Amino acid sequence: MTDSNLTSDMLGPPKFADNPIPTWEEFDADYTNHYFDGTLPLKGQCFIIIHNEQEIGQINYNEIDLDSKSTELDIWLADRKFTGKGLGTEAISILCNYLSQMYECNTIYIAPSRRNTNAVKSYKKAGFIETENIPENFIPDYDDAVLMIKT
């Protein structure tokens, strides 16, 4: 995420001077061990996206709100060469189905920057629509975040 030819589409100057690229320590503080070891799946979990036996990206969900049966997703691909092929869209669809079956999540959020037009298009292809209904305790990463929802 922080060192690929796609980073400038999500983080750091010049396009994202308001969202600097995190240090390893900042990234590590956000993605604690449970994201990777599966010990607290209701708190969130990361998955590697694999295509043709190659690791091409990461997708995760955050803490599941058991009252509203909702969670937020995040995704990034490792290289621009993996974009435009529907791989991210497919990964999102697979994770949404998993969350629905395993945890009865019926509301999934994602909130890219409006400046990341390719991400917004991909999420729409995966069935997300823009919404003005901000979930309780939701803090977007971007000032121009497009809150998108899939139910």
- For residue 1, being part of any structural domain is answered with no
- For residue 29, being part of any structural domain is answered with yes
- For residue 2, being part of any structural domain is answered with no
- For residue 140, being part of any structural domain is answered with yes
- For residue 80, being part of any structural domain is answered with yes
Question: How many degrees, rounded to 5, is the angle at CA 29 between CA 140 and CA 49?
Answer: 75
- For residue 73, being part of any structural domain is answered with yes
Residues 5 and 77 sit within 8 Å (Cβ to Cβ): no
DSSP state string for 40-84? -GGGEEEEEEEETTEEEEEEEEE--BTTTTEEEEEEEES-GGGTT
Q: Span 121-134, mean pLDDT? A: 92
Structure confidence at residue 2 (pLDDT):
66
CATH number of the domain at 138, please: 3.40.630.30
Looking up tokens 């994602």 gives: 110
Owning domain of residue 39: 7-150
- The amino acid at residue 119 is A
Q: In the predicted model, is pLDDT for residue 3 greater than 80?
A: no
Whether pTM exceeds 0.85: yes
Checking 30-34 for CB contacts under 8 A at 24+ apart, the result is 31/60
Q: In the predicted model, is pLDDT for residue 10 greater than 70?
A: yes
The total number of structural domains that make up the chain: 1
- For residue 129, being part of any structural domain is answered with yes
- For residue 68, being part of any structural domain is answered with yes
How confident is the model over 69-126, as pLDDT tens digits?
999 999 989 999 999 999 999 999 999 999 999 999 999 999 999 999 989 999 999 9
What secondary structure letter does DSSP report for 130?
E
What pLDDT band is residue 27 in, cutting at 50, 70 and 90? confident
Q: Please provide the average confidence, as pLDDT, over all residues in the chain.
A: 91
d(CA 79, CA 89): 15
Structure confidence at residue 25 (pLDDT):
85
What pLDDT band is residue 20 in, cutting at 50, 70 and 90? confident
The CB density around residue 128, as the number of other CB atoms within 10 Å, is: 23
Q: Span 8-37, mean pLDDT? A: 83
